[in-house]
Amino acid sequence: MSQDMPRKPFDLADAKLDPTGHFDHPREVLARDDLSLQDRADILSQWEREAYQLQVAAGENMAGGEADMLRDVRLARRELEGGAG
């Protein structure tokens, strides 16, 4: 989510469908102690799907941001699966 866009009021169901509407970076998902391990995993899984789709759609014209975000999401998922939570 862009710095100049207002953040949506937090809604768990919506966050699971639109992670970037609620979080600027995957590490923010990890930092939410009020979310269950499963909720954080669901949000990061959706974010990974979206980041992958953006990377594929961008193809050779990719400027680098899509690959970086996909990497960051995957790193956050690994950290979560490694016992953080």
Mind listing the pLDDT tens digit of every residue in the chain (85 residues)? 445 566 778 999 999 999 999 999 999 999 999 999 999 999 999 999 999 988 887 775 655 567 788 999 999 999 999 865 4
- Cα–Cα distance for residue pair 44/74, rounded to 1 Å: 8
Any domain includes 5: no
Encoded tokens for 18: 């639109």
Domain extent for 51: 12-81
Predicted pLDDT at 3: 54
Predicted pLDDT at 85: 46
- What predicted TM-score, i.e. pTM, was given to this entire model? 0.78
Query: How buried is residue 61: exposed, middle or buried, by Cβ count under 10 Å (0-12/13-18/19+)?
Result: exposed
Any domain includes 72: yes
Residue 74 neighbours by CB distance under 10 Å = 16
Domain count, the chain: 1
